[in-house]
Structure 1
Amino acid sequence: MTRNLSGLLAPAVAVLLVAVVVAAVAGAWPPFVAVESGSMAPEVERGDLVVVTSTDRFPWGGLVGAAETGAPATFGSAGDVVVFDPPSDGQRPIMHRIAFRVSAGEDWTDRADPALLEGDCLTITACPAPYDGYVTYGDANGEYDQSAGIAPIVREEWITAKALFAVPNLGWFRVGVDAAIARVGVFPAAVGFGGLAAATGGFGALFLGRIAARRRGRDERDR
């Protein structure tokens, strides 16, 4: 029983160790973000898994907006893509691209791309900028978050991570877990996924055990 239990737990422990190592290198926890919307399509689609790092981690230190000269490319376009968590009740973290930095009291529409702007400073709640921060947007949205009312000016302390690269489709499990938690709660979801993982591991161990037994049987007959 101890041996079987160890065999079932080994894959989970290995995954946890990999996550811990990646987090230590990236300087962020969790070091992965599951994409839940298509706002960064086509480079990042719903269900992708994005590897993230701390915003001040070497050699990716600092935040650079798309409008800045020499801005690094992330997901095929200029500017850093960041994960930020507005303090609004019920709003999940957002992963969007930084357009440019703004200062308190600034009419930032003067520097905005007209193609990403709906209205002027008189009609946009986030203008003039009420404090120092960043204007952001989703690549697929076609409008600044602050113009569309998706988010206020993003304070630097709201930014929790910087995106590095995406792995297609590996985030669906996380998306499924979040959906299950939202529907039935944390404990029932944990029991359900835990039971599924245990059953999958048990069947896998049984299958591999039978293969090993057959192989040993063939070896003994060959002798």
Structure 2
Amino acid sequence: MNFKTLWKNEYFKTILLLAIILLSVVAFWFGSRAILATEYPFLAVASGSMVPTLQVGDLIVVQGISNFSEVWAAPYGTDRPGDIIVFHKPQDPDELIVHRAIAKEKINGTWYFKTKGDANATPDSWYNSTTRFPEGMLPQQYVVGKVVANVPYLGHIALTLRKPVGIFILVLILLALIALEFVFPQSSKEEEEASETESSGFSDASIYKGYIR
């Protein structure tokens, strides 16, 4: 089978299209991680602790931090509020939290941050399974990065896909796309061939009739 014949095959074109989309998504993801210098360049806000600054369902863009001394820390409501940072929860490192840095202090060469959700009444108090950190502040090694941009509503997609119903919807969409690619182009092709055959038959008959006249 040569390339021209292969290219006319609808199944091949669909598989190729899906492969290109998949590779594009992977390239974009890893490219974003490299450019933004963080393992988590895009995240969805899942709770209301940062309302009104961030809403549930917002998509946030996270920039890695190379110099923690440059993180600005100040309470919400001041002329220049502190940076919003994303960090691993010390009690459960698999959970990511997005709160504002409202104070910071360097202790024995390590930066510690006092964090607080804009909607929360009191600052956070952090500790892990073995250590309560100075004044409940967060050590720099737990920080993923700071929020540099947010897109309203777009994060709802990611939040929905985390649920079984979201995965089910995604599968349905994929199946629908495959059906559109396989079924409808084939039907269109059959109609086109039938039309060509019909047109060809009419033309031949006209010539034939013209000849016998």
The TM-score, its normalising length taken from structure 1, stands at: 0.62
2:36 corresponds to: 26
**Residue 65 of structure 2: which of 49, 52, 55 is its match?**
55
The answer to whether the 8 Å contact 2:74/2:82 transfers is yes
Q: Unpaired segments of 5 or more residues in structure 1?
A: 105-130, 184-188
- Bigger helix fraction: 2
1:195 corresponds to: 171
**Residue 65 of structure 1: which of 73, 84, 87 is its match?**
73
Mapped to 1, the partners of 2:37 and 2:184 lie a distance apart of 37
C-alpha change, 1:210 and 1:145, in structure 2 (3 Å) is farther
Secondary structure at the counterpart of residue 125 of structure 2: helix
The answer to whether the 8 Å contact 1:137/1:144 transfers is yes
- Bigger strand fraction: 2
Mapped to 1, the partners of 2:187 and 2:58 lie a distance apart of 34
Q: Unpaired segments of 5 or more residues in structure 2?
A: 1-10, 127-132, 200-213
Tell me if 1:205 matches 2:159.
no
Query: Deviations for 1:147-176, whole angstroms, at most 9, x for unmatched residues?
Result: 9xxx94211000011111111111122212
**Residue 160 of structure 2: which of 153, 172, 176 is its match?**
176
C-alpha change, 1:132 and 1:17, in structure 2 (3 Å) is closer
The TM-score, its normalising length taken from structure 2, stands at: 0.64
Q: CA deviation at 1:25?
A: 1.3
| One-letter identity of the residue aligned with 1:80 | D
1:107 corresponds to: none
Secondary structure at the counterpart of residue 138 of structure 2: coil
1:160 corresponds to: 144
The answer to whether the 8 Å contact 1:8/1:205 transfers is no
Q: CA deviation at 1:2?
A: 2.2
Q: How many residues align?
A: 175
2:124 corresponds to: 145
The answer to whether the 8 Å contact 1:50/1:166 transfers is yes
Tell me if 1:94 matches 2:97.
yes
The answer to whether the 8 Å contact 1:83/1:96 transfers is yes
C-alpha change, 1:156 and 1:61, in structure 2 (3 Å) is closer
Q: CA deviation at 1:98?
A: 0.2
Q: CA deviation at 1:27?
A: 0.9
Mapped to 1, the partners of 2:45 and 2:95 lie a distance apart of 11
Q: CA deviation at 1:29?
A: 2.0
The answer to whether the 8 Å contact 2:103/2:115 transfers is yes
Mapped to 2, the partners of 1:153 and 1:34 lie a distance apart of 24
Mapped to 1, the partners of 2:100 and 2:27 lie a distance apart of 30
The answer to whether the 8 Å contact 1:81/1:162 transfers is yes
Tell me if 1:2 matches 2:16.
no
Q: CA deviation at 1:208?
A: 7.9
The answer to whether the 8 Å contact 2:39/2:144 transfers is no
